[in-house]
A and B are shown apart, each in its own frame.
Chain A
Amino acid sequence: MKARVTIMPKAGVLDPQGKAIGHALGSLGFAGVGEVRAGKVIELELNEADPAKAQAVAEDMARRLLANTVIESFKVELT
């Protein structure tokens, strides 16, 4: 079973990378771009057939290592 963990800066946490991407899009001539936020995606191959267990273990991994919950939120999707 595969899990995809999406990690994003929390609302209210400065995201200078997203801001820089937004500026670059503006200078490329893309108009009408509002706030840009940049995060990361981590794909995990899990040796686990039970979706509930896979979800739980991926969330545990996200909380303990993949995301820093002081500054980031995460979402786990099984694929």
Chain B
Amino acid sequence: MKSAIIVFPGTNRERDMAIALERASGRKPAMVFHLQDTLPAGTDLVVLPGGFSHGDYLRCGAMAAQSPIMRAIREFAASGGLLLGVCNGFQILTEAGLLPGALLRNATLRFLSMDCHMRVERADTPFTRHWQKGAVFRAPMAHGDGNYFCDDETLARLNGEGLVAFRYATPEGAITAEANRNGARDNIAGILSPTLRICGLMPHPEDLVDPLMGGEDGLPLFTSLFDQFTAA
């Protein structure tokens, strides 16, 4: 797997992401600065990591969505490339219109920095194939604007077409209001494009991929992505 991590001014989780990608694939990802206008040749997976790109000015991800590299990323996505956005990366994907909806300020107005649990809503995607459907895993979250919002029509489509990848849940897998700390609609933590080639989520599976980090709960996301290249 040839992967690339996009670095914007204010991105701060690119090194964590690089550790996770290298652990899953055995290869170091390329680091691509946002002012570049092309991706390295033969890139299979592009990751937009977390952070506070452009200081969250205007809206989280709004500036990054207009960066020169985004044109190459749109073309990459349109030609079937795999695209993952985590936290600020998810915000950038919605601002760029590559995923529907928007991430609002957390309903509590508090920055949330804690572990959360997510239920895997489907296991037949490039991002989730190493989990069972309904599996629950733990991951840290750290965001002020992670409250997923979309209109009723979009919500019905996401639910109807099975495009919700992950929902906030209790450790037992129950979808409750208490487990939904940021107030996201229908406990949505992560969604997929209709092609299942683009995924965005707020929590940070890349920060739980090694026993030294306290667990490997997040590793299946990355081994899932890697697996299709070894299988092919």
Contact = CB atoms under 8 A, between A and B. Distances in A.
For A13, A14, A17, A68, the residue with the greatest tally of chain B CB atoms inside 10 Å of its CB is A68
Chain A, interface size category, equals 10 to 19
B206 to A, nearest CB: 26
Given A68-B59, A68-B95, A71-B149, A16 B105 contact: yes
Contacts of B94: 70
Contacts of A68: 59, 62, 95, 102
A69 to B, nearest CB: 10
B105 A17 contact: yes
A65 B58 contact: yes
Majority SS at the chain B contact face: loop
A66 interface: yes
B212 interface: no
B146 interface: no
Interface string A12-24: 0110110010000
Interface of A: 13-14, 16-17, 20, 65-66, 68, 70-71
